[in-house]
Chain A
Amino acid sequence: MTGLPPPGAPLGHYVSDAPFDPLAAERAAEAAPAVAATQGQVMWWKFRRHRLAVISGLFLIAMYLVVAFAEFLAPSTVDTRNVERIYAPPQALHLFDKGQFVGPFVYGRDMTLDLDTLRRVYTDDTSRVEPLRFFCHGAAYRMWGLIPADLHLFCPANGGELFLLGSDRLGRDVLSRIIHGARISLTIGILGVTMSFALGLILGGIAGYHGGWIDLVIQRVIEVLQSIPTIPLWMALAAIMPVTWSPIVVYAGITVILGLLDWTGLARAVRSKLLALREEDYVLAAQIMGARPRRIIARHLIPGFMSHLIASATLTIPGMILGETALSFLGLGLRPPVTSWGILLTEARNVSTLALYPWLLLPAVPVVLVILAFNFLGDGLRDAADPLR
């Protein structure tokens, strides 16, 4: 093989004299191992590359496990009150006492009433070491509202107390309330999305499949719903629910409201995907081979856009969680004694309360984390939905 001329020298007519094999590309393709990965596997590989999405997914799984076993994980029940410990600040968790390893423990606390400011002052008493007990019997509860039990993952020492995240104005443990509140806050998003998913699939499917005037009407309705600011509309619908309704019905009502106004984005996605996929070659091929419309829809179209849909549905969950939190925070959504993160945050609504007892704002932390996690997970799923791009 003659090499290239040195840089700067004129380049003559150049033909590589390496042996030429016109079938090299085909041979190489045949020699390479046949790729036998299924669509799902390819998606999984792609998804795994999005590190943040994987971490978020694991975090969310952990959160939903917390939801499932809230009673067991919370050191106390939702409404156990300790009248002696009103507005107690968070207790620090220690491992070593005077240079000796004791395991996780908290110091005992004394409360005095400051008569000048009329505030309760809590001081740690370092002589009293109160180690945590694990898998212990504590406050009685009914698991999932059915099975009576009293086993907790950890509870305060016998005769001791444990307020890792402080207590509220009734002396209830904020940590336990956050854990229990997750149950409402996290399920409402999932249920709402399930509903808007069904609505979006049906209405978007009809619009995309039929076309014509039905499509026109549905498109119009979507535009109208999208042009109204959601939160005021949610507020209005939530305010309509009578005060006399039981908490469960209100919960269902909020879910319906969130779902009813949220399907527009999904319906649009379904419609445009249907229109795009209908033109794909493989659909034409299936038609030519004599497949019936039902088979084409079920076998070719739905798998084609389902992954996209799930990804975009994931991205709408945070909006719903936020919606419930905002509504409850404003006093229009769920009401006590139901506990959700929004309801916990209503305690922090007053600035002067907040300035004195800042730990009441702690329920905001899981809200922000969960929203971030759903966003990352949705991003990852969206990338994975199109694994070959």
Chain B
Amino acid sequence: MIRYILWRLAVMVPTLILISMLVFTIIKLPPGDYFESYVQEMRALGETADLQEIEEMKARYGFDKPVPVQYLHWVGGMLHGDFGYSFEYRMPVSEVVGDRMWLTVLVSMATIIVTWVIAFPIGIYSATHQYSWGDYGLTFVGLLGLAIPNFLLALIMMYFANIWFGISIGHLMDRAYLNQPMSWDKAKSILEHLWIPVLIIGTGGTAGMVRRLRSNLLDELEKPYVVTARAKGLAPGRVLMKYPLRMALNFFISDIGSILPQVVSGAEITAIVLSLETTGPLLIRALQGQDMYLAGSFLMFLAFLTVIGVLISDIALALLDPRIRLEGRAAK
């Protein structure tokens, strides 16, 4: 098992390196850099920029060196927690971000868990009651969930919350707790606000998962061993629990790899619409201001989050299913 985990970790390294190269290319793509546009902006305002300070900053962040060196500098800094410098905020990225990263992780994790909790019983119901009214109804609702994009759903929910309850949803905590250190009250406030974004982000993933779980379970239920078990007179509940469900569970855990990027995407865009205190609103502001280091760290962080999530799901899957463990060893 340990060997499998180590092997899996080793495979992760080239993936992360490739991702970092891609993200760095994106950082470098815009013509010119932040300093140039900054100087121009200052000139337009009739002020003179502090060229001395800019030169210093350029030297400090290695802007005068060739691109590969800059890349190594950036990656090296990230390895010991220095994510670069946000030129717009004039602060290191790690300080700008604060606990927004953890809130992003929290929202994504909560969404995954809620997705599972909702999708599991619905998927089983749909598969065992194939072509019943319940199945059709749930499939239809699921399709709607699939077809309504997250940001639209967020808008619609905001609209109805405003019309029906006269409240404005949005934000992840009461205003009073912003920039406050974590406390019980703050945690409670976050939990109270969490369910709306989680529900919005979860719809698409839940719908997809129900669909896949249903078709997987249907395939499994047609297998001869299920027929045999039924012919033997095993109670229907036990027939379902004993094997098909366990098979479906495997798929359920491995499916995290396909829904996680989707959840993170949805979390970002929903966060922008609902102005949550996660990375989403900062990411878009950074992109609009061409504050590429800040944007780059966000991208890197989101990609890292996904890769780690997939890693965890792979390890859980290996724990659950010995075949994968053994195959991993055989491949070595």
Contact = CB atoms under 8 A, between A and B. Distances in A.
Contact of A325 (B18, B144, B149): B149
Interface in B247-275: 261-262, 264-266, 268-269, 272-273
B307 interface: yes
Contacts of B298: 232
A221 B22 CA distance: 10
Contact of B158 (A232, A345, A354): A354
Interface in A242-261: 242
Nearest to A235: B287
Given A233-B299, A236-B295, A361-B156, A330 B269 contact: yes
Interface in A306-323: 318, 322
Contacts of A322: 149
A220 interface: yes
Contacts of B265: 229-232
Contacts of B69: none
Nearest to B148: A368
B45 interface: no
Contact of B288 (A332, A367, A368): A332
A55 interface: no
A224 interface: yes
B71 interface: no
Interface in B125-177: 143-144, 146-149, 151-152, 155-156, 158-159, 162-163, 168, 170
Contacts of B144: 368, 372
Contacts of B22: 224, 228
Interface string A354-389: 110010010010011001100100000000000000
Contact of B26 (A220, A236, A345): A236
B159 A351 contact: yes
A329 B31 CA distance: 25
B143 to A, nearest CB: 6
B303 interface: yes
A348 interface: yes
B152 A368 contact: yes
B152 A239 contact: no
Interface string B1-36: 000000000000011001100100010011100000
B310 interface: yes
B302 interface: yes
A60 interface: no
B158 A351 contact: yes
Interface in B297-323: 298-299, 302-303, 306-307, 310
A244 to B, nearest CB: 10
A223 B287 CA distance: 25
A331 B288 contact: yes
A318 B207 CA distance: 15
A256 B67 CA distance: 25
Contacts of A352: 162
A228 B304 CA distance: 8
Contacts of B93: none
Interface core residue of B149, B302, B306 (most chain A CB under 10 Å)? B149
A129 interface: no
A100 interface: no
A238 to B, nearest CB: 8
B283 interface: yes
Interface of A: 220-221, 223-224, 226-233, 235-237, 239-240, 242, 318, 322, 325-326, 329-332, 345, 348-349, 351-352, 354-355, 358, 361, 364, 367-368, 371-372, 375
20 contacts: A220-B15, A227-B261, A228-B19, A228-B299, A228-B306, A229-B264, A229-B303, A231-B269, A232-B264, A236-B299, A242-B30, A330-B151, A330-B269, A330-B272, A331-B288, A345-B155, A351-B162, A361-B159, A368-B147, A368-B152
Given A231-B269, A240-B30, A349-B273, 14 more contacts: A223-B15, A227-B261, A228-B302, A229-B306, A230-B261, A232-B264, A232-B265, A240-B29, A345-B152, A348-B155, A351-B159, A351-B170, A355-B163, A364-B156
> Would you list the 3 A-B pairs with minimal beta carbon distance, nearest first?
A239-B287, A231-B265, A229-B264
